[in-house]
Amino acid sequence: MVQALYTKKVMEHFKKPHNQGVIKDATIVGESGNPLCGDVMKLYIKIDKKKIKGKETEYIKDIKFETLGCAAAIATSSMITDLVKGKPIDEADNVTKANIADSLGGLPPIKLHCSVLAVEALHKALKEYKTKK
Amino acid sequence: MKYIYLDHSATTPINKEVLKAMRPYLGENFGNPSSLHYFGQKARKGVEDAREKIANFLNCKNDEVFFTSGATESNNLAIFGLIKKIRKQNKDRKLHIITSVIEHPAVLEVFDQLKKEGIEVSYLPVTKNGLVLEDDLKKAIKSETLLVSIMYVNNEVGTIQPIAEIGKLLEEINKKRTPEEKIYFHTDAVQAANYCDCKVSYLGVDMLSFSGHKIYGPKGVGALYVKKGTPISAIVYGGHQEQSLRSGTENVAGIVGMAKAIEMIGKKDNLKIRKLRDEVAKKLLAKIPDAIYNGDREKRIPSNANFCFKNVEGESILLMLDMEGIAISTGSACSSGSLKPSHVLLAMGVPQEVSHGSVRITLGKENTKEEIQKLIKALPPIIKKLREMSPIK
Ligand SMILES: Cc1ncc(COP(=O)(O)O)c(C=O)c1O
Ligand code: FES
């Protein structure tokens, strides 16, 4: 197998992940895992309302992650928090695994599933929030 | 930054003396050892002197040593070559072969392939310490058994398998069988060559594989010992080198280097390496909570330390240590491109979620106390940091 190396961007996020930690009074928590590689991810999300273009909009006020996993899993966790923080929840819901991988300058093929972990945790959390409402 | 290399089971740096011995064969002694002229004969002498040194090390005859491109090829040649020859002799014979679940892929995948081709295969289990038991082998042997292949030392957890004992057992069993029913015994001794007695008469093996680059020699060169009278067919065809068993112009410089490396294997290094390794194991286990030391404490080569750290992932540990200039490995070098947990640790009964947090530290001749201290200082905060990041506490 040709083993591609991680991009500089992945290593930057791995070295100094953004928004790592817990939000004690999170509105919702999303969790995902991959049984094959054993990696687990948790996203803590705080949702609030503000006026955006004159309209009351629900948005992600704060987001933090906890991840047990490989460098790609940690970097994608960090990247997804950057991508959705401050965004209206409908917009955040549209983030795809390709968005994350692209923002990181790509991932080795064998590590693409790590970005799935991050979007899964996000989508699960937002879905739960919407049905709970 | 000064980098620290603690991954000697993946490969070793070439020893200076080895490099010096090789140089002439990359320069003025460039001849093809099959040529009859002066240039050819110079190269031939290099190859044959090397064969003699290796035969001395193995305590076998010179013409029982066959040069290959490495242990992967040696293992393939030993196993496929034997099966091929036996099938040529009697294509209807029912065959059964035995190996262990903890072999290197260079043996395991050969067995898997033969299984697909319809040969019956038994995979011996190991104890929780990573050792094959003779009793399990005894139970697995059948009247159709043709081959047993068990590695001398495991590359992930460093456990030393009871090869000489198995050799004796098979010798006893073979006494009661006809020559046609003989069970052949192969061992992959790649990780053993530095530390264990590799005399083939002591081990009682018919075939033994090893590799240059794990013993401070060059990469891309290895050898296979084949005891006289062992049925074996070539698996590559060409210019009839190596008694027609392994065609292809010899890797002269590599062969010379490997022989020099073998000559330089030193018992005095072992004690020093063991001391450093024991220090690593003791200190890391004391400093890091929820750490497991994998493998047997006694029956293991002096260079290997293998740990599982709960609730962290091996690759993250490896990369964080690398950023501090310390090179180690998760499980084994070839599995780092794979997501699957180590087949060796799983076979030892380590739970899957724990096996993901495994790292292998393998020391070498040139490591110093200072280097080891750096590792002992660097690793605990890395584990702590990664655990803080984990949702599972
Ligand atoms: C036990 C064992 N067998 C075989 C090999 C393969 O050796 P080579 O790299 O020479 O093909 C290795 C090294 O990776 C090994 O550790
Ligand atoms: S290897 Fe599974 S999340 Fe990265």
> Residue A104 C-alpha to ligand 1 middle, in angstroms?
35
Nearest protein CA to atom 12 of ligand 1, as residue: B190
The pLDDT value given to residue B187? 98
Taking the C-alpha atoms of residue B244 and residue B369, their distance in angstroms, rounded to an integer, is 48
Residue A38's region, left for phi above 0, alpha for psi from -120 to 50, else beta, is left
Confidence check: pLDDT of A3 > 50: no
Q: Is A70 a catalytic residue?
A: no
Residue-wise pLDDT for B152-165, tens only, equals 999 999 999 999 99
Residue in the structure block whose two tokens are 């003699």:
B52
Q: What is the CATH number of the domain that holds A30?
A: 3.90.1010.10
Chain A from 75 to 104: CB within 8 A of any B CB? none
Q: Give pLDDT, residue A119.
A: 94
Q: Which two tokens stand for residue A63?
A: 């987001």
Q: What pTM did the predictor assign?
A: 0.94
Mean pLDDT of chain A: 92
Residues A15, A20: Cα–Cα separation, whole Å: 12
Q: What SS3 class is residue B322?
A: helix
Question: In terms of CATH architecture, what is B16-263?
Answer: 3-Layer(aba) Sandwich (3.40)
Assess whether pLDDT exceeds 90 at residue B372: yes
Q: Domain-by-domain residue ranges, chain B? A: 4-12+266-389, 16-263
Could you report the predicted ipTM of this complex, rounded to two decimals? 0.92
Evaluate whether B154 touches B332 at the Cβ level (below 8 Å).
Answer: no
pLDDT band for B266, please (50, 70, 90 cuts). Answer: confident
Q: Which ligand is nearest to the CA of B153?
A: 1
**pLDDT recorded at residue A39:** 87
- Per-residue pLDDT tens over the stretch A18-34: 999 999 999 999 999 98
User: Is the CB of residue B257 less than 8 Å from the CB of residue B238?
Assistant: no
Q: Once rounded to an integer, what is the mean pLDDT over residues A69-80?
A: 94
Number of domains making up chain A: 1
Residue A64, pLDDT above cutoff 50 = yes
Q: Which parts of chain B fold into alpha helices (H)?
A: 16-26, 38-58, 71-89, 105-116, 134-140, 163-175, 200-203, 252-263, 267-287, 314-323, 343-347, 352-355, 369-389
Nearest CA in chain B to A68: B390
CATH superfamily of B4-12+266-389: Aspartate Aminotransferase, domain 1 (3.90.1150.10)
Annotated catalytic residue, options A18, A29, A33, A37: A37
Q: How far apart are CA B383 and CA B386, in angstroms?
A: 5
Q: Could you list the residue range(s) of the whole structural domain that residue A54 is in?
A: 2-132
Whether A66 sits inside 8 A of B390 (CB atoms) is: yes
Determine which of A34-38, B15-19, B79-83, B205-209 has the lowest per-residue pLDDT on average: A34-38
- Give the percent of chain B with pLDDT over 90: 94
**Averaged pLDDT score across all residues of chain B:** 96
